[in-house]
Chains A and B, each alone.
Chain A
Amino acid sequence: MRNLRQHGKLLGFACLMVLGVVGLCYGSLEENILALVPGKIKQRVALFEHSPLSQKLIVITKAPSAQQAQETAARLQDALAQAGFIIPQKPWTNTSILQMLSALPGLFSPKIQQETERKIAPQAVSRQIAQYYEELFSFQSIFTTQKMTQDPFNLTELLISPWSKLGKNVQTLNYTDGFLTNNDGTLRAAL
């Protein structure tokens, strides 16, 4: 009887796993990602496209602790990589997990979308590249190299306003840190 109870538990667990895997295979990407976030730490997760033109994904998540935020980020990154939405450039480390994790409220407004499209219009792109090229040959690159590599078209700037609405205790954008974060690390944003 005891064996049966133990095997029953195992069988139940196996069934749940199978259901989970089947669910992941058949659900939408958003559902799949949501399913990967442990229920007890899931406060808010949203996924949206940054812009139809840029094809960048921004993932929003919020967890009670920095550690849980990192764990969630790792799972989300894994899911996005498996779905072919992102290509991890380096082996995953705490830093790259932090870089992946994003936390932003709501969808972009039409105004922000227009602004994004303006920033990535061909003329604007070539103007920006020319400016960066010149900056590389001056002292300014000390401050802009990271921006050039991480967010060359300053798309993150568009997120500052919604980010600040998350409330006090949220730091201003800091490219030397790489990404937006609140002070305790439970909210993070990246493009």
Chain B
Amino acid sequence: MLEIANITKTFHPGTPNEVRALRDVSLRLEAGSFLIIIGTNGSGKSTLLNAVAGTFLVDEGQIGLAGHSITRWSEHQRAKLIGRVFQNPFSGTAPNMSIAENLALAARRGQPRGLGWGLTRKLRQELQARIRTLNMGLESRIDNPIGTLSGGQRQALTLLMASWLKPELLLLDEHTAALDPKSADQVIRLTHEIIQRDRLTTLMVTHSMQQAVNLGNRIVMMHRGRVLHDLQGPERARVRPEDLLKRFDEVRRREQLDPAVADMLQKNYV
């Protein structure tokens, strides 16, 4: 279970570039639930994911995961509990190392690494079997450097790596945004399978309304560092991509109003 309580993050405080990326965000995610976060650019959805992953420490608030308070944990400590797939297919794998070596690294996520042999024969067979389930024909190429693979193949492998040891929380940060539509479909199907099979608690950021509606059991819409809508239960079940788009339009209309109002206020009072 993930519990985010009143977290706040401001980047570059006190400078002209000050960005209040997260403003008093609270979320409670039951074990096994699959939450999709949508929002406009700069709404703070990726920042929220990074706050949970520990890319930075939050200014205020608490984050709890699986019974631990992880608010002050560093990124690599949190990796014991969290599996991650990044937006950029290059981020999740080491390009000059082989497929097998990459997976062997993931097979020890969050565990101490000593002088034991890295890629044992047993592990090789195990990962070959798991790679075969991807149906990408990669099982015969496990000694090739991962940098020679396509973005879709790399994302599929990263997904496999993130879920190799069942994580308490899976973080997916627009992990299909950089892929062509066909690869994106393939990766989404795989995402669905893995999450279903292992009943993973998942937090996924996406730009695709279609993905938001088809996957997961809860949708959160963020705007300007706040949670704007939280759709669950029957409301979530009824929602269609058009409804989500309509809510985005509402937000946009309000945005357009803002500068005009500001202008008027300035004229009247300054």
Chains A and B are bound partners? no
